[in-house]
């Protein structure tokens, strides 16, 4: 249908190509850029509050080492789970950096160690998104991820139960709600359906593996996808698993993963689309999006949601 964008855009950690990841500022910017969903990576504090943070560690996105130098563990790292929310709120959040060198991970993004940003709670972010939905009349969804549930279990904390309770407080409970709940841990994703009986849409995140991309492993791929389809609504593979070099063509084409996933009624939401870190097969951000539309992919995680929205809209109109 001309004029209708076929592929949805998930703002990966917000507009993280422009502002420090997972800050409310990055989420507000992504919202204004037209993203369909905003992602929330979640970990727990010492006092059982879900906060929006990509890692269980604080020392790659904050000044925790300066403010609380004696609170590191034996491995030299600072864990969010060792800090209460009032302590977390004392930290300045930053563009991501190497915790050993202090050097920014992405050199040409927002300068590391600058600005005045905070680490938000899940509740704070949901209040922001729902408030913007009311004031703008839009319907932008959320995309929470349960980070390292096994680690939380080892610390006697049930991150799934706590997060589901917060989502319920904000009326995210059903299949038709604008919410995808994702996790890399297959046992935990199954648990969401089998133990908690959640009706929310769930996504099984996947790390690169041969069965996803190699054409001679179709039987194994279909077995895995068939199993995933018993407890999840879709998969979130690495973008590297989704494309392969095409013979006699400069534009890479889809691997069998997308077709096989759709055969099992699974959505496919690959990660991560970055202008400043393109997959090795692609020469431009536009070519990556062109291949995405041709592949029939359902949604993408993008650090640059404005550019992804613009490219996907333009490409959809030309199909």
How far is the C-alpha of 228 from the C-alpha of 284, rounded, in Å? 32
Question: To the nearest 5 percent, what fractions of the chain are helix, strand and coil?
Answer: 35, 15, 45
Q: Exposed, middle or buried, 44 (CB in 10 Å: 0-12/13-18/19+)? A: buried
State the catalytic residue, choosing from 12, 22, 57, 289: 12
C-alpha triplet 161, 162, 167: angle, nearest 5°: 95
Q: Where are the alpha helices (DSSP H) in 120-272?
A: 122-136, 149-154, 159-169, 186-194, 210-213, 218-228, 256-263
Respond yes or no: is residue 12 known to be catalytic: yes
Respond yes or no: is residue 113 known to be catalytic: no
How far is the C-alpha of 300 from the C-alpha of 268, rounded, in Å? 8
**What 3-state class would DSSP assign to 316?**
helix
State the catalytic residue, choosing from 22, 54, 57, 99: 54
> Which residues are catalytically annotated?
12, 54
């Amino acid at each position: 249908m001309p004029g209708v964008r076929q592929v949805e855009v998930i703002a990966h950690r917000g507009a993280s190509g422009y502002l420090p990841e997972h800050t409310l500022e990055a989420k507000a910017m992504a919202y204004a850029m037209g993203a369909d969903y905003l992602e929330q990576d979640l970990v727990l504090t010492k006092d059982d509050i879900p906060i929006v943070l990509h890692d269980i560690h604080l020392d790659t996105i904050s000044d925790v080492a300066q403010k609380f130098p004696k609170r590191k563990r034996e491995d030299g790292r600072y864990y969010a789970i060792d800090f209460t929310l009032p302590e977390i709120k004392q930290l300045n959040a930053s563009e991501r950096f190497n915790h050993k060198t202090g050097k920014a991970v992405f050199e040409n993004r927002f300068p590391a160690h600058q600005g005045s940003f905070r680490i938000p709670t899940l509740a704070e972010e949901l209040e922001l998104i729902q408030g913007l939905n009311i004031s703008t009349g839009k319907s932008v969804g959320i995309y929470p991820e349960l980070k390292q549930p096994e680690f939380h279990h080892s610390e006697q904390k049930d991150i799934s139960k706590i997060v589901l309770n917060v989502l319920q407080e904000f009326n995210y409970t059903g299949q038709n709600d604008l919410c995808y709940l994702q996790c890399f841990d297959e046992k935990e994703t199954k648990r969401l359906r089998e133990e908690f009986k959640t009706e929310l849409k769930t996504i099984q995140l996947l790390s690169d593996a041969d069965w996803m991309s190699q054409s001679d492993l179709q039987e194994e791929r279909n077995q895995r996808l068939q199993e995933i389809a018993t407890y999840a609504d879709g998969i979130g593979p690495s973008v590297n698993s989704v494309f392969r070099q095409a013979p006699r063509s400069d534009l890479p084409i889809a691997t069998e993963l997308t077709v096989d996933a759709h055969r099992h009624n699974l959505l496919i939401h690959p990660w991560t689309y970055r202008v400043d870190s393109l997959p090795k097969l692609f020469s431009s951000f536009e070519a990556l999006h062109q291949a995405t539309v041709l592949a029939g992919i359902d949604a993408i995680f993008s650090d640059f949601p404005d550019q992804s929205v613009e490219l996907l809209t333009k490409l959809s109109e030309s199909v």
